[in-house]
Amino acid sequence: MDLKYYGLTGPSGAGKGTVGQILKELGYTVLDTDAIYHDLLAPPSPCLDALFEAFGPSYRLPDGTLDRKTLGAHVYADPKELARLNAITHTFIRDRVLEIAKDTAPHRLDAVFLDAPTLLDSPVSWPLSGILTVLADRDIRLNRILERDGITPKEAESRIASQHDDAFYRERSDAVILNNGTDLAQATAELAEPVRKALTALGLWP
């Protein structure tokens, strides 16, 4: 089986999950890299071992799990440390994604979409045949983040400000979907044609 991998990415609040659900309903395989990373952090884990070796045992909690909050505060205060963290975690995530994909069949048109928010910033090489990005208007993204994550407007604004602008994504994508639906039903209806066009652009339709 000669699989082809496609990135599914976009900024926070763009509604990437909705597009991923539509792709699943169409029969495509969509792998959630965040969920895979969460599984990789369950001890015992070579990924955990690599993180403790790199950053020290002080980030190990009594139950053997990773103190993600403390490590996060450490790396986000130092770009070099964040880059070191990403180099480790993205390597394990990529290898696990490829392993899962090869062990899971069948895949429609031998295509596997990788739901990966930070794919375009990944320090490791991914065997991608194309990138599908989901975007949304800023105000809609802000409202979605507030409803989904229960954070303050200031925190949501800060998160959006820290991410790339739409031009960054458009320049690096093979297909772009604008998802401004206010609810799942509306978004699903409005995205049917854009998803078809995006899949056509990627050579995956019908």
The pLDDT of residue 4: 95
Expressed in angstroms, the distance from the first to the final Cα of the chain is 19
Q: What percent of the chain has pLDDT over 70?
A: 100
Separation of alpha carbons 124 and 21, rounded Å: 26
The pLDDT of residue 149: 86
Asked whether the whole model's pTM tops 0.85, one would answer yes
The pLDDT of residue 1: 63
Q: What is the pLDDT of residues 43-83, one digit of tens each?
A: 999 999 999 999 999 999 999 999 998 998 888 888 899 89
* C-beta separation of 20 from 115 below 8 A: yes
Segments making up each domain of the chain, as ranges: 4-198
Q: What is the pLDDT of residues 123-165, one digit of tens each?
A: 999 999 999 999 999 999 999 999 998 888 998 898 898 889 9
Go through 132-158 and write b for each residue having 16 or more CB atoms within 10 A of its CB, e for each that does not: bbbbbeeebbbbbbbeeeeeeeeebee
Q: Enter the CATH code of domain 4-198.
A: 3.40.50.300
Phi-psi region of 157 (alpha: psi -120 to 50; beta: other; left: phi over 0): alpha
Taking 90 as the threshold, does the pLDDT of residue 96 lie above it? yes
Integer-rounded Cα Rg, in Å, for the chain is 18
Neighbours of 4 (CB within 10 A): 16
* Mean pLDDT across the chain: 92
